Amino acid sequence: MSRVVRTAAAQMGPISRDETRASAAERMVALLDQAARQGANLVVFPELALTSFFPRWFMPDQADVDAFFETEMPNAATETLFARARALGIAFSFGYAEMCQHDGKLHRYNTAILVDGAGQIVDRYRKVHLPGHPEHEPWRPFQHLEKRYFDPSPFGFHAVDTLGGKIGQAICNDRRWPETYRELALAGAEMVLIGYNTPRHYPPAPKHDHLQDFHNHLSLQAGAYANGMWVIGVAKAGIEEGCDLIGGSAIVAPTGEIVVQAQTLGDEIIVADCDLDRCAEIRANIFDFAKHRRPEAYTRIAAKDAPAKG
Strand order in the sheet with 4-11: 121-126, 105-115, 91-102, 42-44, 4-11, 268-275
How crowded is residue 86: how many other Cβ atoms within 10 Å of its Cβ?
A: 16
The enclosing H or E element of 105 equals: strand 105-115
Among 47, 183, 190, 240, the one annotated catalytic:
47
Q: Which of 148, 121, 172 is nearest to 62 (CA)?
A: 148
Q: Which is nearer to ligand CDT, 233 or 256 (CB)?
A: 233
One-letter identity of residue 107: H
Smallest separation, CB 40 to ligand CDT (Å): 25
Question: In a 10 Å sphere around its CB, with 0-12 CB exposed, 13-18 middle and 19+ buried, how is residue 3 labelled?
Answer: middle
Contacts of 289 (CB under 8 A, 6+ apart): 185, 186, 283
Among 70, 127, 166, 240, the one annotated catalytic:
127
Burial 56-66 (b: 16+ CB within 10 A, else e): bbbbeeeeebe
Q: Which is nearer to ligand CDT, 82 or 109 (CB)?
A: 109
Q: Which is nearer to ligand CDT, 117 or 203 (CB)?
A: 203
Smallest separation, CB 250 to ligand CDT (Å): 14
Rounded-to-integer distance, Cα 88 and Cα 126, Å: 27
Q: Which is nearer to ligand CDT, 162 or 197 (CB)?
A: 197
Catalytic status, residue 127:
yes
Rounded-to-integer distance, Cα 219 and Cα 158, Å: 19
Smallest separation, CB 42 to ligand CDT (Å): 22
Burial 143-159 (b: 16+ CB within 10 A, else e): bbbbebbbeebeeebbb
Smallest separation, CB 176 to ligand CDT (Å): 6
Q: Which is nearer to ligand CDT, 74 or 131 (CB)?
A: 131
Catalytic status, residue 190:
no
Among 70, 98, 166, 172, the one annotated catalytic:
172
What are the residues binding ligand CDT (CB under 6 A)? Answer: 47, 131-132, 144, 172-173, 176, 196-198, 202
Rounded-to-integer distance, Cα 190 and Cα 254, Å: 9
Catalytic positions, written as ranges: 47, 127, 172
